């Protein structure tokens, strides 16, 4: 069972964060304020997928996400193999 590369997982985290922002109808400026970071900083982190797991979880919490099912990745994300 192959878990995918780190680059693929960063891309998944990036798309997941963007998708959850859309579901929550929260703009990046509002999320940045909730996370205590500058809007430009948040935009750069999201654009490059350059954030820690802790930051990712903090953002998901701020967006009200209660659960992410990793088993669904195979169906939702191309390129990540299990």
DSSP string, the chain: -----HHHHHHHHHHHHHHHHHHHT--HHHHHHHHTS-HHHHHHHHHHT---HHHHHHHHHHTT-----GGGHHHH-TT---
Q: How confident is the model at residue 11 (pLDDT cuts 50, 70, 90)?
A: confident
Residue 16 forms part of a structural domain: no
Residue 37 forms part of a structural domain: yes
Residue 1 forms part of a structural domain: no
Residue 80 has pLDDT above 50, yes or no: no
> What residues contact 56, with CB distance under 8 A and at least 6 apart?
13, 17
pTM of the model: 0.79
Residue 6 has pLDDT above 70, yes or no: yes
Residue 5 forms part of a structural domain: no
Residue 3 has pLDDT above 80, yes or no: no
| Domain span including residue 31 | 24-82
Residue 82 forms part of a structural domain: yes
Residue 3 forms part of a structural domain: no
Distance CA 30, CA 53 (A): 20
The predicted pLDDT at position 26 comes to: 92
What does the pLDDT look like over 22-79, one tens digit per residue?
999 999 999 999 999 999 999 999 998 889 999 999 999 999 999 888 776 556 655 5
Residue 49 forms part of a structural domain: yes
Residue 9 forms part of a structural domain: no
The predicted pLDDT at position 7 comes to: 86
- Please give the tally of structural domains in the chain: 1
């Amino acid at each position: 069972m192959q878990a995918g590369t780190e680059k693929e997982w960063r891309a998944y985290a990036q798309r997941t964060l963007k998708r959850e922002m859309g579901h929550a109808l929260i703009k990046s400026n509002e999320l940045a304020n909730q996370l205590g970071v500058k809007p430009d900083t948040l935009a750069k982190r999201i654009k490059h997928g350059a954030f820690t797991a802790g930051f990712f979880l903090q953002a998901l919490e701020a967006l009200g996400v209660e659960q992410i099912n990793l088993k669904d990745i195979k169906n939702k994300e191309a390129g990540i193999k299990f």
